[in-house]
Amino acid sequence: MLRSGPPLRTILSIFATAIALVFCVCTASAPAAGQARITGVEYQPGDHLRVIVSFDRPVRYVEGTAANPDRIFFDVQGTKPGGALAKIAVGDSVLQSIRVAEYQPGTTRIVLDVSQPTAYSASLQNNPPRLVVELSRTASTARSGSAAATPELSEMRRTPAPTATAPPSSSVAGNQPRAASLASVAIVTPGNAGSAAPQAAAAAAVSSPPRSGFATASFARADSKLASHFAGPANGEFTALMKAAQRGDPNAQFNLGDWYMTGQGGVPRDPSVAAAWYRAAAQKGHAIAASNLGVLYASGLGVQQSDTDAAEWFRRAAEAGDAGGQNNLGSMYLAGRGVEASDAIGAKWIIAAAQQNSPEAEYTLGTLYANGRGVAQDDDQAVKWLKAAAEQGYAPAQCVMGKLSSAGAGVPRSEADAAAWWQKAAEHGSAEAQSALGNLYLNRDPVQAYSWFALAASSGDKEAVAAMNSLAPRLTPQQLAEAQQRARIAIKPQQ
């Protein structure tokens, strides 16, 4: 006899207004031989907070923001963190802490944990080599009144916290029969984990500005700068790229946009100039350039923020077959940003992107099937697409698969499977998964549970902090020391 599990909509929160916007940065060349090292991190308080990260040689980076909790991150390529750096507690009303860790081999992630969406600027200086970030004490307006998360401007497809090595874990076993039905689910959408809202809020929470032609005025500032940047650094590769771009080569124009976006090769980082080169390439049919330009408009980085223009550039990219553009355009329709909200049209573009193996789109498509939003409700299809995204390493989908496995909704109930999915997401830096593992181990291995809560708390998870404080009196001094040591080892930057 099959055991009936709880409906999915009672397990997970409704697909709300946040959208997953993909920013695809293609590098024109590999970093120079040898890796730079971070030599220091300095915090300077004031009306405009300043964070200065020093290096032993010039570097380049990509940047982005993430929510729940709010943070700003920088992925510095061709680097390793210094041995003494891990987490710096700041305690300012805006900047809470600074975290430094090796995100993946050859890339160091610097995370600024902020108390709210915060306007900031960043620049690279070469003498001495350092990254200077200035934070405003005024909340960012990049979200333009929308409940949607700020697009993640990164060559990575999402913004987990610095990768954590899992604490040694105990085995978790126990399978139960597959649930008979996944009657109704609502799944967390990228960038808005844990948020709940009525389904109607997806269209109502974000106003839909009227469609208009492309706004060219916002490019004037960038276009006026191009001539002054033609000389560029004394770099043979840059000179050749610039000449090709001036001749109208769209690939060169796109790559040059990337150079200005990331500060590659000593080029002064300037998102407005990057936007102008992306635009030049996009107008010649370069699909990824069009998608990148859409993200810049959606976030207001280098151009005047405009959801309408973002949607138009996403449309160009989507119609040219770019999966990122298709996913982003579909998300705009689902949220009603820059276009009239339409679940059916949104689903059409999400399906197109998912069929190209976009993990963000696969995840979103799973949520649509689970809720019957824009497509016929289908539990089997929901699980199929959620699992596909999870198997590609997409942490939000891995979190969801953990929840479904734990509850026996749509898949066989299995704490072992739940633990496996949550551990994968936790190792991608998901505080939600780390906290879930803490709860899973709470009554069978309190030391292990405390370690996971500590990792989640290090990312700003307030519920994990409360769980740690509640659990601590149950541990002996030796157990508490062991749990804290496991957590320290897990978050310590790899050397």
Q: What is the pLDDT of residues 278-324, one digit of tens each?
A: 999 999 999 999 999 999 998 888 899 999 999 999 999 999 999 99
Nearest to 21 by CA among 208, 428, 293, 277: 293
Measured CA to CA, the distance from residue 103 to residue 110 in angstroms comes to 9
Out of 111-120, 356-365, 390-399, 415-424, pick the least confident: 111-120
HEC states along the chain?
CCCCCCCCECCCCCCCCCCCCCCCCCCCCCCCCCCEEEEEEEEECCCEEEEEEEECCCCEEEEEEECCCCEEEEEEECEECCCCCCEEECCCCCEEEEEEEEEECCEEEEEEEECCCEEEEEEEEECCEEEEEEEEEEECCCCCCCCCCCCCCCCCCCCCCCCCCCCCCCCCCCEEEECCCCCCECCCCCCCCCCCCCCCHHHHCCCCCCCCCCCCHHHHHHHHHHHHHCCCCCCHHHHHHHHHHHCCCHHHHHHHHHHHHHCHHHCCCCHHHHHHHHHHHHCCCCHHHHHHHHHHHHHCCCCCCCHHHHHHHHHHHHHCCCHHHHHHHHHHHHHCCCCCCCHHHHHHHHHHHHCCCCHHHHHHHHHHHHHCCCCCCCHHHHHHHHHHHHHCCCHHHHHHHHHHHHHCCCCEEEHHHHHHHHHHHHHCCCHHHHHHHHHHHCCCCHHHHHHHHHHHHHCCCHHHHHHHHHHHHHCCHHHHHHHHHHHHHHHCCCC
pLDDT mean over 392-416? 91
Out of 166-180, 351-365, 404-418, pick the least confident: 166-180
Determine what percent of the chain is predicted with pLDDT higher than 90.
32
Apex 465 CA angle, 417 and 418, nearest 5: 5
Q: What is the pLDDT of residues 67-115, one digit of tens each?
A: 778 888 888 878 877 654 567 888 788 898 898 887 767 788 899 989 8
Contact 3, 360 (CB under 8 A): no
Torsional sign, CA 155, 156, 158, 159? negative
Comparing 425 with 144, which gets the higher pLDDT?
Answer: 425
Exposure letters 460-483 (e unless 16+ CB within 10 A, then b) = bbebbeebbeebeeebeeeebebb
In the predicted model, is pLDDT for residue 353 greater than 90?
yes
Out of 47-56, 190-199, 430-439, pick the least confident: 190-199
**pLDDT band per the 50, 70, 90 thresholds, residue 168:** very low
Measured CA to CA, the distance from residue 426 to residue 429 in angstroms comes to 5
Contact 315, 346 (CB under 8 A): no
pLDDT given at position 274: 92
Q: Residue with structure tokens 């987490």?
A: 87
Q: Give, rounded to a whole angstrom, the gap between the first and last alpha carbons of the chain.
A: 53
Question: CB within 8 A of 293, min separation 6: which ones?
Answer: 275, 278, 279, 282, 303, 313
pLDDT given at position 491: 60
Comparing 142 with 260, which gets the higher pLDDT?
Answer: 260
pLDDT given at position 85: 57
The CATH number corresponding to 37-139 among 1.10.3720.10, 2.60.40.3500, 1.10.10.10, 3.40.50.2020 equals: 2.60.40.3500
Question: CB within 8 A of 243, min separation 6: which ones?
Answer: none
pLDDT given at position 58: 83
pLDDT given at position 49: 83
Domain boundaries, the chain: 37-139, 221-340
Contact 273, 305 (CB under 8 A): no
Q: Which two tokens stand for residue 305?
A: 């923020």
Question: CB within 8 A of 96, min separation 6: which ones?
Answer: 89, 90, 113, 114, 115, 460
Comparing 487 with 473, which gets the higher pLDDT?
Answer: 473
pLDDT mean over 161-173? 41
pLDDT given at position 330: 94
In the predicted model, is pLDDT for residue 333 greater than 90?
yes
pLDDT mean over 439-454? 89
In the predicted model, is pLDDT for residue 449 greater than 80?
yes
Mean pLDDT for the chain? 74
pLDDT given at position 492: 52
CB count within 10 Å of CB 132 equals 16
pLDDT given at position 244: 93
Q: Which two tokens stand for residue 417?
A: 């499977």
pLDDT given at position 124: 78
Q: Residue with structure tokens 């949520």?
A: 367
In the predicted model, is pLDDT for residue 25 greater than 50?
no
In angstroms, the Cα distances linking 19 to 98, 172, 336 are 26, 34, 10
Comparing 9 with 60, which gets the higher pLDDT?
Answer: 60
pLDDT given at position 37: 84
CATH for 221-340 is: 1.25.40.10
Measured CA to CA, the distance from residue 138 to residue 34 in angstroms comes to 39
Nearest to 250 by CA among 274, 227, 278: 278
